[in-house]
Chains A and B, each alone.
Chain A
Amino acid sequence: MLETLSYMGQGFLNALTPLTLLLMAGGTAIGILIGCLPGLSAAMGVALLLPMTFTMSPESGLIVLGAIYCGAIFGGSISAILIHTPGTPASAATAIEGYQLTLQGKAGKALAVACFSSFCGGLLSCISLYFFAPLLAQLAMKFGSPEYFWLSIFGLTIIAGVASKSLLKGLISGALGLLLSTIGMDPIEGAQRFMFGQASLYEGINTTCALIGLFSMSQVLILAEKKIRQRAKANKFHDRIALSGKEIRRITPTILRSWIIGNLVGILPGAGASIACFLGYNTSRQFSKHKEEFGKGSIEGVAGSEAANNAVTGGSLIPMLTLGIPGESVTAVLMGGLIIQGLQPGPELFTRYAPMTYTFFAGFVLTQFLMLGIGLLGCRGFAQIARLSDAILIPSVAVLCVVGSFAIHKNFVDVVIMMVFGILGYLVRKFDLNPAAIVLALILGPIGEKGLRRSLLLSGGNPAILFSTPVCWVLIALCVFGVCSPILMNRMERKVMAASGGDASEEDTLPPRTSE
């Protein structure tokens, strides 16, 4: 306990250096910018800026990526409130009440509520990150090869969870990703697999290139196929971006409820901020003493949605950092960032690399304060940038994709791989397959393969070793749950959407859940 407290304190000392604070502020501002631009998503932003963190220390790199993540989730609310277009799916529910407030000339109030609630949601989510992550990591320390095999299978069943429409198509996407993950050297035999004479494929497909291609370049192609339209002008507002003590007291219970909801949704693999925002919004309506305001501009509605989606951020890091299971696309990209730094998610992050991990946690806490400051001060500016045309975004993002993938190994083959994955990602999204599932399989495939083959080596080829411990059976049960949960989750999402006044057509106009 004392050791943990000392790591926590040391983490804050490490994170409070001027350079780290500057990087944090930069990451948060970039995240807000990406979030408030409709068409760009948090996963895309984190993937695009991943190569920028290569030369940084692991903790600084992770802090920057975490800051982009938090900033993007909050940034979506700016365009949702001012131009009635959620920047990310995570702010879809915010648009309902936020835009109504804007129409009443209370845009400043709506933005202040969104900013304050996002700050509280994010900050409170750090509590669970600090206390649950080490506990789960202790459990993971008891895992051997068979457990790691089942753990990766559990992670892969999440694919079914992130599959947007069809469970089978989600699983097919996962199997395709698994197959692509076998490219490179065999981990046990040392034989070449599907390398086709390319030495650059020795270590397999570069995950970062695949991430940039699947999330960022595919988005360029998605933007390129649509008619370029001038975005609606952001409504001008003259009221102060501030909250009174009475208003803070009024939204506090809503924020606390949404924090619990968002955190649980974040920890649950397969669920994401887009579900949390509607759950938070709906719960705020249920418990509100001013139900008549809902649909006409309720600050509680904005607070419920925004606190919940930002509470997801801390929660979603828990399974990724402790078990190596990214529950959704943004954490899959963040895990890619961790692996690039030479770190393997799992219990070691809380033992051998504990100083680095706790510095990242401290950075995550400090990011929330910076998000509050930058958000409150920069709302008006970000609102203007949110109008940036897709016509400018298309070539600009494409150039950044190319430079980003080239910077990894200073190798042109990586650029070609990124482009191939970009086209694959575009087709995958068009035909209802799932890019997040491919990424999860690319990351988890080698872990599962090593776990399986090491287990079989240890047992002399006897598969009974895979069922030899109670933990294995718990993980098998979780795998079954992982396959069944999306069916329940989809039903719940539809119910919540219907109860919140959203309809299918509205859902269709939003970016897919997986691209949060």
Chain B
Amino acid sequence: MKKTDIGVVAFMYAVCAFFFIASRSMKKEAQIYPVCIIILLFLLTTGYVVKMLLDAKRQGVTSGLGEIFAGFQAKQFFVILGLLIVYLAGIYFVGFYLSTVVLMLASLLFLRVPLWQILISVVVVLGLVYGAFVLFLNVSLPVGLLFK
């Protein structure tokens, strides 16, 4: 049994509890089907808990973290994730183009991509988006709250 699986089953039970509580405020007839699915998820998760316990008895308990996160570059991952979240907020406030340029420059510089490749990448991606989405699909990309 892997200790990380405890997190998985805890998450699934939390999902079951969250949706079950949310379903209480629904019309009774509309409740039946979602509650059946919640019960199904609960039963399957419980089945997995039983399997985990049997595995623990037979093979012992291992962390599992080392296996799942082997070679995990924590700093790189969280910086990129952070940049992506800031990017979404940026699109909302300052618009798509400015945020995209900032995201591309920041992430490519952080990942130590040579400068000439950074410039080409930014131009190609923006050109691709403009050509495919703005010209071809007629999608007007967000301009941001500040520039509205």
Contact = CB atoms under 8 A, between A and B. Distances in A.
A175 B132 contact: no
B51 A176 contact: no
A142 interface: no
Contacts, number: 158
B21 to A, nearest CB: 11
B94 interface: no
A179 B34 contact: yes
Majority secondary structure, A binding face = helix
Contacts of B132: 52
Chain B interface extent, by class? 35 or more
Interface string A193-227: 11010000000000000000000000011001111
Contact of A400 (B15, B37, B40, B129): B129
Nearest to B34: A182
Contacts of B85: 419
Interface in A465-482: none
A441 to B, nearest CB: 9
A410 B140 contact: yes
B99 to A, nearest CB: 9
Interface string B83-127: 011011001100010001001100110011100010001001100
Given A52-B132, A226-B73, A402 B87 contact: yes
A363 to B, nearest CB: 19
A419 B88 contact: yes
Most A-side CB within 10 Å, residue of B45, B84, B112: B84
A194 B69 CA distance: 33
A449 B36 CA distance: 11
A193 B88 contact: no
Interface in A164-186: 166, 168-169, 171-172, 175-176, 178-179, 182, 186
Nearest to A178: B37
27 contacts: A52-B133, A52-B137, A55-B137, A166-B48, A168-B51, A171-B44, A178-B40, A179-B19, A179-B34, A179-B38, A192-B26, A227-B76, A389-B113, A392-B121, A394-B107, A395-B108, A396-B124, A398-B87, A399-B103, A399-B125, A399-B129, A403-B133, A406-B141, A407-B133, A407-B139, A419-B85, A430-B69
